[in-house]
Chain A
Amino acid sequence: MGMTMTQKILAAHAGLDRVEAGQLIEANLDLVLGNDITSPVAIREFEKMGANKVFHRSKVALVPDHFTPNKDIKAAEQCKCVREFAKKMEVENYFEVGEMGIEHCLLPEKGLVVPGDLVIGADSHTCTYGALGAFSTGVGSTDMAAGMATGKCWFKVPSAIKFVLKGKPQGWVSGKDIILHIIGMIGVDGALYKSMEFVGDGIQHISMDGRFTMANMAIEAGAKNGIFIVDEKTIEYVLNHSSKSWTVYEPDADAEYDEVYEIDLSKIRPTVAFPHLPDNTRTIDEVGDVEIDQVVIGSCTNGRMEDLRVAAKILKGRKVKKGVRVIVFPGTQKIYLDALKEGIIEQLIEAGAVVSTPTCGPCLGGHMGILAKGERAVATTNRNFVGRMGHTESEVYLASPAVAAASAVTGKITDPDTLLKAD
């Protein structure tokens, strides 16, 4: 019997000809990632392990992005711990404020992940790099520590669910709507422990930015990883960003899947996840009247160029509804600068949005846009758990940048089409 894409990557990194679902393996790592929240814990564990050097100076990436620019003294101490460790270990991929970005936007942009790689990161959204045809998965700080020390990690080989994407998304429908639709369909534990493998000719109509968004949210269905087949768009992206060599793994024709879903992308409508779980989805036609206090556009889910372009397209020449706060946070310094050059930042600010430096900030209720009791936000982020963006009695509605931008203008959750037609 054949193997899935994920199984092939795992087998190759474990030095095995084949692996099967459920098998426990030890595999070699191409990259180990940590941020300012998870790394300090990992560094402490690393030291406790008695390790005195990282397994490879260019295969560790440390990105202080959650509470940066340092939000308070404790955050500053955590970042200092990471900075000093990076210096002592001569870690090549440490990114200081000024050159940084949200980790999952930054690493692909810097060319640190390529197809066929095996990546672990002490951050649950490490699964983002599956968009590039890599196996990447979130782990905890102890795994990160062991990974940094030994360059290895234990894995239970996952089984997979196959998603065959067909057709072409219509109108404002983006990667975010597709993945929200899928999570709504299978539930927040619908892919627990499993790979979500995305194949089919519908993929050609999804941009790389859209694929990053989709792979990013695989964890919101409980998946171990989300992974896309590699096509011309992937190759073009990698050629433009990386000088690393890569391997393309295709799923075997006779690979075994727990389930296979066929999804017609042309039928998907803009989709919103209501509080307090990402699978609590409704199409834009079913949302009803939901008034909002804040709009957040950014994060590792939707803080890329395409996302900012879409938001600016809708907000350009319009005004944010009085009383609504709109916070835009680009994913990386490069995206920020590119958006500035394209005039996007100007358009957003003229519309009445604030544009923040790259940071995780509001996404996890850290800083830069916390919600008060009873307040509601539309966010392009990935989680709407209780208290995720602030007070436990606040609410987060997850949506695409297009829906978020349209909602900013009207002050309630709005179909971009309706807004544009009203003009």
Chain B
Amino acid sequence: MKAKGRVFRYNNNVDTDVIIPARYLNTSDPKELAAHCMEDIDPDFVKNVKPGDIIVADRNFGCGSSREHAPIAIKASGVSCVIASTFARIFYRNAINIGLPILECEQAVKGIEAGDEVEVDFDTGIIRNLTKGTTFKARPFPEFMKKIMAADGLVNYIRTKNAGDGSPS
């Protein structure tokens, strides 16, 4: 699995309230959520984001509420991957569970600027900054997470497992 796109760059502590403000949480429709993604921190994000683009941020990305709407909004806006120095843990879980690829790699974050063209290989954890000609190595996903990702999220993963015995145990 690979991702390739242009980078949107953010700083520390991007919280779930700016990723998708609570005033839009009266819906869980991915398209409607995507229409307001990052609105309170980067009003131009929605206008400029293209399928495949990549978000790169410093520490503690996704801190705050447990709203799964946050990774859903990011995924539905077309973002193919989020790279950060660290992620807040609930965001981390949620992203994996809904099948939004995320990678922690501090060196890569330091070596990537807004607008850079970046390519990510999820199997190896290799991150290439095509604009600057630099390469970084993140820790690849453990096996069980790769399976969840390959199934495009935990739901499909469980459904495939369920298919065997008919009902969830």
Residue positions of A touching B, CB distance < 8 A: 24, 37-38, 40-41, 44-45, 48-53, 55, 66-67, 71-72, 74-75, 78, 121-124, 126, 138-143, 145-146, 149-150, 154, 188-189, 192-193, 219, 222, 224, 277, 364-366, 383, 385-388, 392
The one of A140, A150, A222 that contacts B94, using a Cβ cutoff of 8 Å? A140
The one of B65, B66, B155 that contacts A145, using a Cβ cutoff of 8 Å? B155
Q: Are A189 and B13 in contact (CB under 8 A)?
A: yes
| B40 in contact (CB, < 8 A) | yes
Could you pull out 18 A-B pairs where Cβ atoms are within 8 angstroms? A37-B25, A41-B28, A41-B69, A48-B156, A48-B159, A53-B167, A122-B68, A124-B66, A149-B158, A188-B13, A192-B60, A192-B88, A192-B89, A222-B63, A277-B13, A385-B15, A388-B17, A388-B22
In the complex, chain B residues 1-18 whose Cβ is within 8 Å of any chain A Cβ:
13, 15, 17-18
| B125 in contact (CB, < 8 A) | no
Q: Are B89 and A193 in contact (CB under 8 A)?
A: yes
B158 cross-chain contacts in A, Cβ below 8 A: 49, 146, 149-150
| B133 in contact (CB, < 8 A) | no
Q: Are B60 and A188 in contact (CB under 8 A)?
A: yes
Majority SS at the chain A contact face: loop
Distance to closest chain A CB from B83 (angstroms): 17
Query: Quick one: given A50-B159, A124-B66, A387-B21, are A140 and B13 in contact (CB under 8 Å)?
Result: no
| B67 in contact (CB, < 8 A) | yes
B114 cross-chain contacts in A, Cβ below 8 A: none
A392 cross-chain contacts in B, Cβ below 8 A: 40
Residue with the highest number of chain A CB atoms closer than 10 Å, among B21, B66, B86: B66
The one of A72, A140, A189, A365 that contacts B59, using a Cβ cutoff of 8 Å? A189
- C-alpha gap A350/B69 in the complex (Å): 41
Residue of chain B at shortest CB distance from A363 = B22
Interface 1/0 per residue, B82-107 and A, CB below 8 Å: 00001011100110011000000000
B48 cross-chain contacts in A, Cβ below 8 A: none
Residue of chain A at shortest CB distance from B162 = A50
Q: Are B23 and A141 in contact (CB under 8 A)?
A: no
- C-alpha gap A122/B66 in the complex (Å): 6
Q: Are A143 and B26 in contact (CB under 8 A)?
A: no
Q: Are B66 and A139 in contact (CB under 8 A)?
A: yes
The one of A24, A38, A49 that contacts B68, using a Cβ cutoff of 8 Å? A38
A41 cross-chain contacts in B, Cβ below 8 A: 28, 68-69, 72
- C-alpha gap A224/B91 in the complex (Å): 12
- C-alpha gap A40/B68 in the complex (Å): 11
A50 cross-chain contacts in B, Cβ below 8 A: 159, 162-163, 168
Q: Are B13 and A143 in contact (CB under 8 A)?
A: no
Q: Are B89 and A387 in contact (CB under 8 A)?
A: no
Q: Top 7 A-B pairs ranked by shortest CB distance? A: A140-B94, A74-B26, A140-B68, A142-B97, A124-B66, A189-B60, A138-B66
Q: Are B90 and A24 in contact (CB under 8 A)?
A: no
- C-alpha gap A366/B24 in the complex (Å): 9
Q: Are B155 and A140 in contact (CB under 8 A)?
A: no
Distance to closest chain B CB from A28 (angstroms): 11
A193 cross-chain contacts in B, Cβ below 8 A: 89
Interface 1/0 per residue, B131-160 and A, CB below 8 Å: 000000000001010000000011110110
- C-alpha gap A51/B155 in the complex (Å): 10
Q: Are B154 and A142 in contact (CB under 8 A)?
A: yes
Q: Are A387 and B17 in contact (CB under 8 A)?
A: yes
Residue with the highest number of chain A CB atoms closer than 10 Å, among B21, B40, B72, B90: B90
- C-alpha gap A55/B169 in the complex (Å): 8
- C-alpha gap A44/B98 in the complex (Å): 13
Query: Quick one: given A142-B97, A387-B40, are A188 and B63 in contact (CB under 8 Å)?
Result: yes
A38 cross-chain contacts in B, Cβ below 8 A: 66-68
- C-alpha gap A141/B16 in the complex (Å): 14
Distance to closest chain B CB from A132 (angstroms): 20
B72 cross-chain contacts in A, Cβ below 8 A: 41
The one of A67, A123, A222 that contacts B26, using a Cβ cutoff of 8 Å? A67
- C-alpha gap A364/B153 in the complex (Å): 28
Residue of chain A at shortest CB distance from B21 = A387
A154 cross-chain contacts in B, Cβ below 8 A: 144
Query: Quick one: given A188-B13, A189-B63, A366-B22, are A140 and B97 in contact (CB under 8 Å)?
Result: yes
Residue of chain B at shortest CB distance from A142 = B97
- C-alpha gap A219/B93 in the complex (Å): 14
Q: Are A146 and B17 in contact (CB under 8 A)?
A: no
Q: Are A37 and B67 in contact (CB under 8 A)?
A: yes
A75 cross-chain contacts in B, Cβ below 8 A: 26
A224 cross-chain contacts in B, Cβ below 8 A: 89
Q: Are A139 and B90 in contact (CB under 8 A)?
A: yes
Distance to closest chain B CB from A159 (angstroms): 12
Residue of chain A at shortest CB distance from B99 = A142
Q: Are A365 and B23 in contact (CB under 8 A)?
A: yes
B97 cross-chain contacts in A, Cβ below 8 A: 140, 142-143, 146
- C-alpha gap A364/B21 in the complex (Å): 9
Query: Quick one: given A38-B68, A143-B154, are A365 and B27 in contact (CB under 8 Å)?
Result: no
Distance to closest chain A CB from B65 (angstroms): 5
Q: Are A72 and B26 in contact (CB under 8 A)?
A: yes
| B64 in contact (CB, < 8 A) | yes
Query: Quick one: given A385-B17, A388-B17, are A142 and B98 in contact (CB under 8 Å)?
Result: yes
Q: Are B159 and A142 in contact (CB under 8 A)?
A: no
B25 cross-chain contacts in A, Cβ below 8 A: 37, 66
- C-alpha gap A310/B168 in the complex (Å): 48
